[in-house]
Structure 1
Amino acid sequence: MSHAVNHSGLFQLNFDSLEGLADRIAEIMNCPITIEDSNHHIISYSSHEDSVDNVRVNTIIQRKVPEKVINSLWKKGFMSKLFKDDKPVKIPAIPEVGLGDRIAISVSKNNEILGFIWAHTNGREITEENYMMLTEAAKAVQKKLLKLQIKKQRMEESYKEFFWQLLTGHLKDSAEIEQQAQKYGLYLNGYVAIAMIEFEEEVTEEIEKHSFYLTETLRGVEVVCKVFDQNQFILLVRFPTIKDSNKILKEYVSNFTAKIEERLKLHHNISAAFGLIFDSPKYIKDSYNQAERVLNAKSQFQNQLEKVYGYNELGVYQFIDELKEIRKQTNYKNDVIKTLKQYDENHNTELLKTLKAFLNCDSNVYKAANVIHVHTNTLNYRLKRITELTDIDLKDPNQKVTLFLDLKLLEM
C-alpha cells in the first residue's frame, strides 16, 4: 500500500473533454472506465480491449445502463451505498445480469448526485491506492459534470413557466404551443397526457432526488416535462402512438410508486394517477384536471379504487362530485337507505352493510357473502328482508344503480 503517495496532481491537467478525462483515469487505474450522469446515461468512456463484459458493451451501444442491471444493483444494496456516500464501493460480479467486477464512486456536489464513475476491474486485485486514485478522479470529473448540470438546470427552470401555462390552460393555440416547445427543445408531437404522483407527507430533498432519478431510469414512458408542486410530482408524458398507451402508462406509474417506496423505505401512502391521453398538447389542462380527479376519488374511496390509476378507469366516479352537488341542491334523501339504516339501529342488524356488499360485488351473492363473512343462505335471507321492508326490486338495474350511487355519496 502507498499511503504516502500524493495523488492530488494526477488529474490536474486541463482536459478539453470528458472523453479525454476518461482515458486518463483508465490509464492511471489500468482498467476500462465509464462515466455516467446521475440517471445512468453514458457521458464518456475509455477505450478497452476485447475482455470486457456484456454490460459495458450494451451500455456503450445503448448509451445507457440496461434497466435490469440498475435494478439488480439496487436490490443488492450497491446503489444505496453510492447514493449515501462519496467513497468508492467495491461491486463483485453479478453473473445473472452479465456484470463483471467493478469499483464505482458517485460524483456529487452539496449532497446532489451528478454522476458515477465505474472502473471495470475484471477480477484483478484492488489496492488501497486504487481507491484513493478513484476518489481523486471523482473530484476532476465533478468539475466537468457541474458545467453540464448547470446547463441542464437552466433549461429545466426555463421550461417550467411554459409547462405551467399548459397545465393551467393559458396556452391554447397549437401553433404558439409548438413554437414555445421548439424554443425549449421539447418534443410534443404524438400523444400526450399528465401523470401525477402524490405523496402523503411533505416532500423531502431525498424524495425529489429519487423521483427525478426514476423519471430518467424507469423505462416504458417518455417524460417530456416534470415539476414538483408541494406534495405532487407532475409529469408530462408522450407516446409516439396511441396503441397500448393506457396500459403502458398504468404499468409505469404503478412501477414508479413501488420502486420509490421500496428504495426509500417509505411508510406513508403514495398515490398515482393519470388523465386521458390526447393527440394535441392544447388538451394538457384537461388531462391535468382529470388526473387530479382520480387522486381525489382515490382518497375518498381507497378500498374500491386502490388499483385504479387512469381517468378512463374511474367509471361513475368521474361524476361523483357533480352528483353530490345535485343531491345537495335538491335536498334529496334516498328512502331505501333511510329505512334500512333506521331498521338496523332498532334491531341491531346489518341490512345496509349487506346491500352495500351486494351492489359492490355486481349482485354476485357468493362474492358478497365472502366479503362480509356470512353464509350465502344468510345473505339471501337478508336480501329478501330488504325487499320486504323497502319494496325495492333488486333485479331492476335502474333502481340498483341509483342505490349504488347514493351509497357512494354517503361514503364521501
Structure 2
Amino acid sequence: MSQPLEKVLALTNINDITEMVSTYLKKPVVVENDQFSLLAYSSYYIEQFDEANQQTIFTKRWPIPILEKFMEEGVVEQLKTIPGPFHVPPIKDIGLNPRVVVSAKYKEQIFGYIWVQETTPPLTDTQMDFLQKVSVHVGRLLYKENQVKARKDEKKNQFYKKIIDETYRTENQIKWEAANVNVVLPTSFLVTVFMVAQIDEDIFEELTETIRLFVNALNRPAHLFTDELKIIVIIGSNSPASSSLTESADQLTNTILSQYKPQTVYVGIGSEYTSIVDLRQSYLEALRVIHTAEFLGTSSLPAFHYKKMGVFLYLEAIARFNSETDYVNEDLLKLERKDQESQSNLLETLEAYLLNHCRIKPAAEQLFIHTNTLKYRLKQIADLTTIDFNDFNMNAQLFIDLQLMKRKKQAPDR
C-alpha cells in the first residue's frame, strides 16, 4: 500500500480526505453526497476550479441547469452503472472542464461521488487506482453518516405526515413537536404532489429519485417524503422577503415533466400559506388538481396550480349534474357530426377561439391557419348552430361542455 493511500485510509474526516487526495493528485477535488450536495472541496487548488465547480461551491449543490445537462448527456446514468473511475469530457454549455469521477459505494449502494478536475497532465493508471481505493473508504464513511441522517429524516417525515393527517390540533402543538424533532418550520410554504398515472412501483421509485435530485437542486429549503404512491414536496422559505415559491414549484414541475413522457406523471401544486396549520390545506389543494386530471383522463391541464384551475375544478360536479338531468349540448353534437362527415376541425376551431377570448388573430396563430380560414370556419359554425359568440354565458357553457365532451371521448366507459 502506498504511503498517500495509507494516510488517506487513516482519516475519517471528509474535508481532510479531500485535501489529502487533492495534494496527492495535484488537482482540484470535490466530494458530493448521493444527491449531489457539496460535502467538501480542496482549497489549495481553488483558483483552478472551472465555472461548473464554482457554481456548485457557491450554491452548495448542483444548480438545476447543470443537473439537467448531466442527465441529458448520460453522466448521471453512468455514475449509477460504471463501477470505477471514468472520464467525463468537457461540456462547454455549463462551463465544465474534463473530469474524472468515481462513485463512493458501500454494500453496493452509492453514497457519494468524488470529482477530480483533470488539469494537465491527465491522471495515470496508478492515480486512477488510488482514486478507486479512496472511493471505497469514502463510501464506508458516508454510509455511517447516512444512517444517522436517515433516522432524522424519518422523524421529519412522520412529523409532516401527522400534520397532513390532522393528528395535531393546534399550531402551538405543531410548533412544540417541531422543536422536539428539531424541524425548522418555514415562514411560508406550499405543497407540490406528484403521482404516476399507472400504478407501477418501478416507475414510482425512479420518479421519486429523480424528483429528489431536482428538489435538492432548488435554491430554497424543501423536503420530500412519500405516502403510499404519492410523492409530496414541501417547498418553503425562511425569509419573508424571498422570491415567489410558485416560481420554484413551476421550475421543479416543468423540469420533472420534461424528463418523462406525456401522460406518465400527474402534478398538483397547492396554494402558498404562512401558518403551518394550513399545510394540510395546501396538500389537499394539490391532490384536488391531480384528481381533476385523473377525472379528465389527461395529465395536461391548463395549469398545475390550484388557484389557476378555474372552472376545471368543478367539471366533475357539472358532469354529475349533466348525467342526472340527461343534458347534452345539441350545438356541439352538430359540430361533432360535421367533423366526422367532412373531416373538418370545427370543434378544435371552436375551442381555440374560445380560449383566445374570441379574438381572430391569436386563435388563428394557435391553429396555424390563416385568419381568413378561421373566419370561414366560424361562419360554418354559425350556420350549423345557434351559437352567439357575443353571449358570454353561452361561451362559458360551450367551453365547459367542450371539456366534458373531450373527456368522454378519452374515457368512454367513465
Where on the TM-score scale, by shorter chain, does this alignment land: which range? 0.7 to 0.9
Partner of residue 324, structure 1: 319
Partner of residue 21, structure 1: 17
Which residue of the other structure, out of 17, 36, 55, is the alignment partner of 2:32?
A: 36
Instruction: Name the CA shift for 1:280/1:52 in 2 (closer, same or farther; >3 Å).
Output: same
Partner of residue 236, structure 1: 234
Partner of residue 251, structure 1: 251
Paired AA for residue 298 in structure 1: A
1:340 and 1:352 in contact (8 A); partners too: no
List per-residue Cα deviations over 1:272-302 (Å, max 9, x = no partner): 2201111212112221222122223334557
Partner of residue 138, structure 2: 141
List per-residue Cα deviations over 1:43-102 (Å, max 9, x = no partner): 233441465224455544543355554444444433332222221012345566444443
| TM-score scaled by length of structure 1 | 0.81
Question: SS of the residue aligned with 1:197?
Answer: strand
Following TM superposition, by how much is the alpha carbon of 1:136 offset from its aligned partner in structure 2, in angstroms?
0.4
Query: Using the alignment, how far apart are the partners of 2:70 and 2:342 within structure 1?
Result: 57
Query: Using the alignment, how far apart are the partners of 1:396 and 1:307 within structure 2?
Result: 23
Following TM superposition, by how much is the alpha carbon of 1:245 offset from its aligned partner in structure 2, in angstroms?
3.0
Q: Which runs of 5+ in 1 are unaligned?
A: none
Q: Bigger CA drift: 9-18 or 289-298?
A: 9-18
Instruction: Name the CA shift for 1:332/1:58 in 2 (closer, same or farther; >3 Å).
Output: closer
Query: Using the alignment, how far apart are the partners of 1:272 and 1:235 within structure 2?
Result: 11
Instruction: Name the CA shift for 1:383/1:107 in 2 (closer, same or farther; >3 Å).
Output: same
Query: Using the alignment, how far apart are the partners of 1:44 and 1:335 within structure 2?
Result: 65
Alignment of 1:143-158 (within 5 A): 143-158=140-155
Instruction: Name the CA shift for 1:409/1:47 in 2 (closer, same or farther; >3 Å).
Output: closer
Partner of residue 327, structure 2: 333
Query: Using the alignment, how far apart are the partners of 1:349 and 1:60 within structure 2?
Result: 58
Q: Which runs of 5+ in 2 are unaligned?
A: 408-414
Following TM superposition, by how much is the alpha carbon of 1:165 offset from its aligned partner in structure 2, in angstroms?
1.9
1:101 and 1:120 in contact (8 A); partners too: yes
List per-residue Cα deviations over 1:109-133 (Å, max 9, x = no partner): 3553211112344211321111111
1:308 equivalenced with 2:306 (yes/no) = no
Question: SS of the residue aligned with 1:196?
Answer: strand
1:212 equivalenced with 2:212 (yes/no) = yes
Q: Bigger CA drift: 56-65 or 202-211?
A: 56-65
1:53 and 1:98 in contact (8 A); partners too: no
1:164 equivalenced with 2:158 (yes/no) = no
Following TM superposition, by how much is the alpha carbon of 1:340 offset from its aligned partner in structure 2, in angstroms?
3.5
Query: Using the alignment, how far apart are the partners of 1:64 and 1:208 within structure 2?
Result: 19
Equivalent residue pairs, number: 397
Paired AA for residue 137 in structure 1: V
Identity across aligned pairs (percent)? 17
Question: SS of the residue aligned with 2:193?
Answer: strand
List per-residue Cα deviations over 1:187-214 (Å, max 9, x = no partner): 3332211112222342424443333222
1:169 and 1:284 in contact (8 A); partners too: no
Query: Using the alignment, how far apart are the partners of 1:100 and 1:87 within structure 2?
Result: 20
Instruction: Name the CA shift for 1:53/1:169 in 2 (closer, same or farther; >3 Å).
Output: same
Question: SS of the residue aligned with 1:213?
Answer: helix
Which residue of the other structure, out of 384, 391, 404, is the alignment partner of 2:399?
A: 404
Partner of residue 195, structure 1: 192
Query: Using the alignment, how far apart are the partners of 1:119 and 1:343 within structure 2?
Result: 66
Question: SS of the residue aligned with 1:296?
Answer: helix
List per-residue Cα deviations over 1:152-191 (Å, max 9, x = no partner): 1111222222222222333341111222223333333322
Paired AA for residue 395 in structure 2: K
Partner of residue 48, structure 1: 44
Query: Using the alignment, how far apart are the partners of 2:337 and 2:61 within structure 1?
Result: 65
List per-residue Cα deviations over 1:284-342 (Å, max 9, x = no partner): 2221222122223334557795452211221111222233334445x251464487479
Partner of residue 376, structure 2: 378
Query: Using the alignment, how far apart are the partners of 1:134 and 1:379 within structure 2?
Result: 69
Partner of residue 180, structure 2: 183
The RMSD of aligned alpha carbons is 3.7
2:8 and 2:20 in contact (8 A); partners too: no
| TM-score scaled by length of structure 2 | 0.80
Instruction: Name the CA shift for 1:220/1:148 in 2 (closer, same or farther; >3 Å).
Output: same
Paired AA for residue 275 in structure 1: G
1:189 and 1:280 in contact (8 A); partners too: no
Instruction: Name the CA shift for 1:30/1:155 in 2 (closer, same or farther; >3 Å).
Output: same
Partner of residue 271, structure 2: 276
Which residue of the other structure, out of 93, 98, 101, is the alignment partner of 1:104?
A: 101
Paired AA for residue 24 in structure 1: M
Query: Using the alignment, how far apart are the partners of 2:89 and 2:353 within structure 1?
Result: 56
List per-residue Cα deviations over 1:205-261 (Å, max 9, x = no partner): 4443333222112x34431x3123454321111133475332342233112322x43
Query: Using the alignment, how far apart are the partners of 1:401 and 1:307 within structure 2?
Result: 16
Paired AA for residue 213 in structure 2: Y
Which residue of the other structure, out of 86, 92, 96, is the alignment partner of 1:89?
A: 86
- Whose Rg is larger? 1
Paired AA for residue 233 in structure 2: L
Query: Using the alignment, how far apart are the partners of 1:135 and 1:67 within structure 2?
Result: 28
